[in-house]
Amino acid sequence: MDTSSKHIFHNLDAKALTSKNNWPVVAGVIVGAIILGILSGYGTTFMSSNEKASKTKMADGSEKSADAISSAGILDKETFKDKAEGVLKEGGFEGEGSFHLERPGGISQNVYLTSTTVDLTQFLEKDVRLWGATFDSKKAGWLMDVGYIEIIK
């Protein structure tokens, strides 16, 4: 058997590799890689944002699911000196606040709320106690920036 005629390695034809006929294949591979990169990045971001939406980071560093949250924010009674209790509802008063606290005594006793530290939407329609800082308002009777909120049990 003549081993000189059978080679494992073959010489490549350099002209075939640099041929102008290969550019559509190369361009297709590059475009495909870019599209796969974008889709995998989007998928990863979407999956991690859904995971974050179902959990809330608490002030002590622990995480709780949105269904199990009973309080949120920063309990700093020097900064957030004012306290109120009632049922949290959506909607402000003539452009002041995004939420309000319904309290006994009618609409004149409502506290209109904003918050720079707490996502109040998690506490809608719940009986809550909150601490905040009162701000001057032009239309609302009482306007407060909420720093800490807890569900009253």
How many helices (H) and strands (E) the chain has is answered by 2, 8
Is 132 within a domain?
Answer: yes
The CATH number assigned to the domain holding 81 equals 2.40.50
Is 1 within a domain?
Answer: no
State residue 151 phi and psi, 5-degree precision.
Answer: -80, 135
Q: DSSP H helical segments within the chain, as ranges?
A: 14-17, 23-53
Say yes or no to pLDDT of 119 above 50: yes
Question: Whose CA is closest to 122, among 51, 52, 76, 70?
Answer: 70
pLDDT band at residue 54, thresholds of 50, 70 and 90?
very low
pLDDT digits (tens, 9 = 90+) for 5-52: 566 777 766 666 566 677 788 888 899 999 998 888 877 777 665 544
* pTM, to two decimals: 0.53
Q: Which residue has the higher pLDDT, 66 or 7?
A: 7
Cβ neighbours of residue 42 closer than 8 Å, sequence gap 6 or more:
none
Is 138 within a domain?
Answer: yes
Count of domains for the chain? 1
Is 55 within a domain?
Answer: no
Domain that holds residue 95: 63-151
Report the mean per-residue pLDDT for the chain.
Answer: 76
Is 21 within a domain?
Answer: no
Is 87 within a domain?
Answer: yes
pLDDT at position 127 is: 92
Is 99 within a domain?
Answer: yes
pLDDT band at residue 145, thresholds of 50, 70 and 90?
confident
Strand partners, 144: 113, 134
pLDDT at position 30 is: 92
Strand partners, 113: 99, 144
